[in-house]
Each structure stands twice: as C-alpha cells, then as structure tokens.
Structure 1
Amino acid sequence: MPGTYIMQCAYFDAGQCRSCSLIGTRYDEQLAKKQENCRTVLSLDSLDPHTASTSTAEPSTRLHWDEPFASLPAGFRNKAKLVVGGTREAPTVGILDRGAQGIDLRHCGLYEPGLAQVVKQVPDIITEIGLVPYAVARRSGELKHVLITHSPDGELMVRFVLRSPGQVGRIRRALPDLQARLPGARVISANIQPTHAAVLEGPEEIVLTDDLELPMQVNEVRLRLRTRSFFQTNTVVAAGLYRQASAWINDINPSSLWDLYCGVGGFALHALLRPDGSPRDVLGVEVSAEAVDSARAAASQLPGAPSFLAGDVSNHLGKAGTPDLVVVNPPRRGLGPELPRWLEDAGVEHVLYSSCNVDSLAVDLARMPSLVPVRGRLFDMFPQTAHQEVLVLLRRQ
C-alpha cells in the first residue's frame, strides 16, 4: 500500500546523495507531518498574532483542510536535471560532490518509468556524440547538464547545456541517431551557458528539431511546453492540483478571472469554462513571453477566448478593472508587498493562492487580512522531501 511504503535508495545509504531527506520514513507519516506543518504555519494565530487562541471567528471563516492529495511515493518525476561529470569515455549523470566530481545517479528511483529508461541511456549518448563533460575544477570541457522532460504520451524534450556553441554541430549531426535511439524525442535543443557558476541554463537556446514545443496532456487540457517553460515536476499531482482549483472556482462561478504568474496557462485554461460549458472572461499574465506564447497556442485549441499578456504582474494592476477572482501562483519567495496590498484594497472577492512555500504564503496572507483563508489542501509534489505545495482559497470578509 502506498501509505505504508518505505523507499530504499542505495545512493542515499552510501551517502552519495541526500536530496531525499525523508527516505526511510513511511509515506503516510510523511504526509501527516507535512499536513500538520501546513496547519501550524497557516493557523489563525500565526497569521494574526493579535487574535490568539481566544478568537471568536465564526466556524465558516476558519480554514478547512481537505485530505492531502497523495503522490506515488516513487517513480513520479517527469523531469531529469542531470549534472554531467566524468569523462567523454565514462561520463556520469547526476550531481557533483563537494570536490566538484561527478556522482552517477542514473538509476535514481524517483523518475517515472518512461523517463527512467531514457536517463539510463544518457551516458552512452554523450559518448557516442563525443561531448566532453565540463570539469568545474579545471574549467574545461563543454557539456554541463542534460535536461529531460517526459510527457504522459511518452514524448520527450531533451536539452544539452553547453559552455559554448562550438559543439552544437556535433549534436546537430547526431540528430538522426538521437531520434532513432529516443523515438519519443519531440524537441531537442542546445542551451548555451558560458558562465562558470552554479546556474542550470543560459540565455541562448538553439532548437535543433522542427518542433518547438512538447505537448503535455493534463486532464482535458493539452498544455504546450517550450524549452524554458515551467511545469510541475509531478504530472499526476499537477493534474490533481488543477482539478481541485477548477472545482473550487466552479463552486464560486465567477464571471471574470485573472491568473497571475500564469506560466503556460495551467490554471487559466482549466478555469476557462463554467459548469454549463460557457466560457469565462479569463486573463493570464506572465513575465515570460515564451510561456505566454505557449499558453496562447494551447488556448487556440479550446472554446472561448482567454487573453494572455507578457509582462510584470505589477504593471497590469489597476489597468483593467477588478476581476471577481484572482489566481496567484508565485515563485518560492511569494508575492512581495505590492500585489497583496492591491488585492487587499481592490475589492477582489476571492483569491486562489497556489504556493510552493508555506512560509512565504503565511507572510502574504498576513498582508491581506480582509481575504480570509477558508479552504486549503496539500498537494505532495515531492515525496521523500519536506517540500509542501499548498492550494488555499481566500474569501473577502
């Protein structure tokens, strides 16, 4: 049973990788601990120290927690972010140790089955193409990372992160062999990251295939990912997150909705249609123009006409009226002071906040006291770690 599952990992036992800090803990215990932490951090007392435990708030204004949305405890990751080490003849794919030497983690148990098979082939692919792994200590070599995304349809996006464009030709010439070896490879690219720094990717992307996008089927929505588009690492749990958001939005049934930090449009497109099938007035705002292009492409396959704008969220506030409901899905640092202040003052009736950091979420909630959290749910995107993804519905009081 998933609840009693205890993951075992030879890499962890050998001290080679300690990323999964909760390995050895029963999965149901992991979930319970994360849920309890969410309850504690987002409790009424924590958000407003003046209320204390004698609060007279009506039960309807208190935060109700739904059951946590559980993941598969292992075999759930749709992405591999592989640091390349070793030599051209014997490359490693995984992480670097403290001495900047490669640790090979090609048999990591977190990858979903189709991705796991691809990761095992990556060292041979590196050797066959003739790419030299980048040696951090000597600042020599070319290949820094291999980044792979795997879709529910078994298709792939494969990105080779290089120090310079000098080796792009090798990958281009190897493209037919690569596509034969990896028949699901829809997008293959070279990313150029020239700086000697712990940075995953650089500003220049050279797409080598005709296709620019990887389709990701999530529930009834077919999202489109470009090379630097963000998408959740756990497809099954992401689908559950979007379904829950859609259900809560349909309970409210707003006429107009904004999705701020919309990325490739996951929340906006799942909220596009009312329960009767008619489209809502939906607007998505995202700083990444590439993500906005992807959202627009996905929207073109759906009924309705959502709008997606590229730009900083703060530049849009106050320029197009006030929607009935706002969805926010910020980075780990949270919303910052400006957006909560606007949400507090603008009269927005409902806010749906998707957070990957419960501590920054608590800070943001304290900045908009008129918007009270009434429903919450934990989504376990990253089993075996303490990471907590939380969806909270706020209602104006």
Structure 2
Amino acid sequence: MQCDYYDAGRCRSCTLIETPYDAQLAAKHERARAAVGEGPAWDDPLASAESGFRNKAKMVAGGSVDEPRLGILGAGGSVQDLRDCPLHEPAVAAALPVLAEFMTAARLVPYDVTSRRGELKYVLVTASPAGELLVRFVLRSTESVPRIRKHLPWLTDRLPHLAVASVNLHPTHSAVLEGAEEIVLTERALLPMHVGDAEMYLRPQGFFQTSSQMAGALYTLAASWTAKLTYRTAWDLYCGVGGFALHLARPGVEVIGVESSHEAVAAATASAAGVGTGVRFEAGDATAFALGAAQEPDLVVVNPPRRGIGADLAGWLEGSGVRHVLYSSCNVDSLARDLTAMASLRPVRARVLDMFPHTEHFETLVLLER
C-alpha cells in the first residue's frame, strides 16, 4: 500500500508498510505458531484487503474553526490532518471532509491539549457494511450541542447515509477517548451491521471489530469449527455486540453472552430479537460470571482485550468440565500465557486472521478440546 502521509513522515502508524504484504502475513503466521505451538492443525492465514478496510475512524480534532484538521496528535500538541488516510473504507473516507466542513458550519472549536481550551476533542465515524454511518462528536461540555443540533439537517443533507449521530461528553483532560455520558441526536440509536450470517447492531458506545470483512470471516470460521460439536449450552464471554453468540445459535441450544459494556449488551439484545429464542445477553464481568455460575456450559467462547482472560478465568476453565473453548485473541503473548494455564485444554485447530494489515497486530482463533 502506498501512503503519502507515511512517505512525507507525517504518520508512521503503519509500521510494516514498507514490508511486502505477503511477508507481513507470513511473519504473523510464524509468530502465532511460535506462541501457540505446533500441536493444532494450522489453517493458512487469512489475508485482508491492503487498503480501504477500516470501518471506523477515530480522528483527533485540531486546527481552528475556519481551518479544521482531523487526524492524529503530533509533537507539541499539534494535529496532523489525515482525512485522506488510505486505510478507511470508502464511506468513512467520503465522510471525513464533510465533517471537517461541519466543524466550520457549526463553529466547533477544536480542543487544544496544550492550552486546555476548546470544545471538540474527537470525531468518531463508523460505517456499516451497507454504507450507513454512525458519527460521534466528543466534546468537553454541552456548550456546542445546540449548534450541532441546529446544523444537523445540513450534515444529513450532505451525508444522506448518516443513520446515527451523537455527542459524547468528556470533560476531563486525559488520554481516554470518551466519557460516560452520551447524547443521541437522531431518531435512530442503532446502526445495523450485517456481518457473517447475523444482523448485528451497534450503539454509539459499543465496540465492533475494526474490519467488517475480517469480522465476518472470524464469526463464520467460529460457526464452521463448532458446527460438528455437540453442545446444549454455550457462553460467549467478552461478547461485545454478540457476534460469536449469534453465530453459535442453533435450535435447542442456550447461548449466553456476557459483556461489561451496557451499551454493547443493549445492542446485542436487539440483535438477539431477530434470531428468536435461545440467545440472551447480560452485562457483567466475564470472570465473575463464570466463577459464580451454578452450572458449567459445554462450550465457552472468549474474546478478551489484549491483556487476555487472566489467571482467575483460565484457572476456572482448567478446573472445569467445559469440553471445548474457542479463544479469539488479538495478542498472542497473553494467549500463550493463558493456554499454559489451561494445560488440560488441548489446541486442536488454529488460524491467523489479519485484522490489522501493516502493523504487528493480528487476530488468532484457536479451538481447544479437553
């Protein structure tokens, strides 16, 4: 992939961009094999599109009202504009220049990290596979909300595929991306995300995989690997908006998804309504849920953050009678540590899915069998 920003030294986020993509993929595959071991049957790594694959943009607001910038925070607190980043899906790429214009139209003053003045901190954009958009404005206060509401018809006219718009209030000066309070500005609060074989929904504060293409492949692979397993009960821990749970659903099976984010659980519950009975979601800590459960399931799916599932949950799984575990990991180091703690669960199948081309990061799916 060729990138003008990288060539000009303005952005170096894609640390592997100078490495041929085939070599990137091979290196990730070998790293995963070294971490997990040679025991499982390894499928060939699943390649991504090299550009235009990111369904979301997390853009720092900078510049001024009349000359806005959307990009990344650079040295000295300045913002490097990255509106033409080649990683973004076409719908996201087309929206960013319009959103920069909207900053001027609605007189949204970019937040300056050095002086700690201004209102607009971030503009967050997510595109669905159908091309609809969810746009969030992260503000320091409600001062700009009336102007955003006033000019929202202008924005929806320029972006006819805008489905959900919201304001997130983030009053503190910190590196955290968003605050706790969300104000939905549109009639709709759910963005449909048809991925794999499921119609999922995303709320403004919900998490979704960075690449819709690879998310669909991940869920489809999970369904394929578990198709011949016998299970009557299944848990999807760290379930997000329910992608794995919805793909594990089958007649006569009870599937429970657990996620700490109430927003994600609300979206997942809306998705479950479309598949009938047998799938439900609840908000809570994955480890606490497992340790406090009265009965063990036949199958457990875990899709934790980079830190992994940790010693307590790994220890519970090791001592349980759970027959199969499907582990989706974005960090092979924590994956390897967790697998060591679950020695009685043997990896039988594994595959690398390149969710993040041109970086060291990738997803690894492993099926474990007792």
Per the shorter chain, which TM-score range? over 0.9
Aligned-pair CA distance for 1:176 = 1.0
Partner Cα distance (1:26, 1:36) in 2: 16
Matching of residue 388 in structure 1 with residue 365 in structure 2: no
Matching of residue 164 in structure 1 with residue 141 in structure 2: yes
CA contact (8 A) 1:295 1:308 kept: yes
Partner of 1:37: 31
User: Which of 261, 264, 281 is equivalent to 1:288?
Assistant: 261
Q: How far does the alpha carbon of each residue in 1:156-176 deviate from its partner, in whole angstroms, 9 at most, with x for none?
A: 100000111111111011111
Partner Cα distance (1:267, 1:356) in 2: 15
Matching of residue 97 in structure 1 with residue 74 in structure 2: yes
Partner of 2:110: 133
Partner Cα distance (1:164, 1:304) in 2: 42
Partner of 1:23: 17
CA contact (8 A) 1:186 1:209 kept: yes
Matched letter for residue 150 of structure 2: R
Partner Cα distance (2:261, 2:275) in 1: 22
Partner Cα distance (1:162, 1:147) in 2: 11
Which runs of 5 or more structure 2 residues have no equivalent in the other structure?
none
Partner of 1:322: 296
Partner Cα distance (1:304, 1:248) in 2: 23
Partner Cα distance (2:366, 2:343) in 1: 14
CA contact (8 A) 1:91 1:133 kept: yes
Q: How far does the alpha carbon of each residue in 1:291-341 deviate from its partner, in whole angstroms, 9 at most, with x for none?
A: 111111101011333121111122222423111110001111011111111
TM (norm. structure 2) is 0.98
Partner Cα distance (1:248, 1:280) in 2: 16
Partner of 1:379: 353
Q: Secondary structure at the match of 1:132?
A: coil
Aligned-pair CA distance for 1:41 = 1.5
TM (norm. structure 1) is 0.91
Partner of 1:313: 286
Partner of 1:147: 124
Partner Cα distance (1:220, 1:313) in 2: 25
Matching of residue 304 in structure 1 with residue 298 in structure 2: no
Partner of 1:81: 58
Partner Cα distance (1:36, 1:220) in 2: 30
1:253-272 paired onto structure 2 within 5 Å: 253-272=230-249
CA contact (8 A) 2:61 2:111 kept: yes
Matched letter for residue 130 of structure 1: R
Aligned-pair CA distance for 1:78 = 0.2
Partner of 1:250: 227
Partner Cα distance (1:77, 1:314) in 2: 31
Partner Cα distance (1:272, 1:219) in 2: 13
Partner of 1:239: 216
Partner Cα distance (1:8, 1:382) in 2: 16
Q: How far does the alpha carbon of each residue in 1:236-268 deviate from its partner, in whole angstroms, 9 at most, with x for none?
A: 010000000001111213221111111111000
Partner of 2:313: 339
Partner Cα distance (2:364, 2:121) in 1: 33
CA contact (8 A) 1:260 1:313 kept: yes
Q: Secondary structure at the match of 2:50?
A: coil
Aligned-pair CA distance for 1:177 = 1.0
Partner of 2:100: 123
Aligned-pair CA distance for 1:279 = 4.2
Partner Cα distance (1:219, 1:64) in 2: 23
Partner Cα distance (2:37, 2:138) in 1: 43
Partner Cα distance (2:16, 2:289) in 1: 41
Matched letter for residue 214 of structure 2: V
Matched letter for residue 103 of structure 1: Q
Aligned-pair CA distance for 1:128 = 1.1
Matching of residue 187 in structure 1 with residue 160 in structure 2: no
Matched letter for residue 395 of structure 1: E
Aligned length: 369
Q: Secondary structure at the match of 2:91?
A: helix
Partner Cα distance (2:144, 2:230) in 1: 53
Which runs of 5 or more structure 1 residues have no equivalent in the other structure?
1-6, 45-61
Once the two structures are aligned, what percentage of the paired residues are identical?
54
Partner Cα distance (1:368, 1:305) in 2: 29
Aligned-pair CA distance for 1:214 = 0.6
Partner Cα distance (1:28, 1:314) in 2: 38
Q: Higher mean Cα deviation, 314-323 or 337-346?
A: 314-323
